Amino acid sequence: MTRRTSGPHPWAKHPELLTSIRSPWEKFRKADWNFDRYEDAIMARPCDTETVVYTALDFCVAMVALRDWTRKALTRDVRTGDRKLPAGLTSTDDFNSWISSRVHWQAAIEAIANTYKHADYRDIGWENGVAMLASFAPLPLGADKDACKDGLELFAFMHKHKDQVWWDIALRQHPSPDAEPGYNAFGDALDEWGDILKELGYNEI
């Protein structure tokens, strides 16, 4: 088999040939599908930790791909005159930083996705970020959960109440103890992306 050494592939403008996805909106729908799988994992009782982690990672990768698809489409459409740059964006070269300013958890999502893909801790834009499994319980069980003295007691508690408690990804920046549940952060990011795509004119009915 020979490898192409110069010039773009003749099918370069047809990513749908390998993905069945044709537009930023279709890529958004794919990310939304990933969020649904992640949501299902968190809502399941008992809640499986591996499924929560794996679906969260897949969602983050999908969101970075959404950023890339949208940047490429906007760059092409601005060049051809089919679209204008939105307010606050002076050049498509600044698209990634513009997105980070509009999507509160984008930097965290990208740090997670890049670390996942490259097997190196990469926290650019979300310095000292930590995304780890955390346990959650409904209010009536809150005091019992807080009374657990160590990890062994916590896991015993989670097992005992497996039909009521759940796991999620907690996002925080060390050394701050304040954490945001992934369900909130990822859901907000998806909503903000939906607004951006409508603003750019990439939403489809």
Each residue's pLDDT expressed in tens, for the chain with a length of 205 residues: 566 667 889 998 899 999 999 999 999 999 999 999 999 999 999 999 999 999 999 999 999 999 999 999 999 999 999 999 999 999 999 999 999 999 999 999 999 999 999 999 999 999 999 999 999 999 999 999 999 999 999 999 999 999 999 999 999 999 999 999 999 999 999 999 999 999 999 997 5
**Total domains present in the chain:** 1
The verdict on residue 6 lying in a domain is no
Is 133 inside any structural domain?
no
Specify the pTM. Answer: 0.93
* CA atoms of 65 and 194, how far apart (whole Å): 14
Does 186 map to a domain? yes
Domain that holds residue 49: 22-127+181-200
Question: Is residue 45 included in any domain, yes or no?
Answer: yes
pLDDT value, residue 205? 56
Q: Is residue 8 part of a domain?
A: no
86: nearest Cα among 204, 205, 5, 196: 196
DSSP 53-87: HHHHHHHHHHHHHHHHHHHHHHHHHHHHTSS-PPT
Note the pLDDT of residue 146. Answer: 96
pLDDT digits (tens, 9 = 90+) for 157-198: 999 999 999 999 999 999 999 999 999 999 999 999 999 999
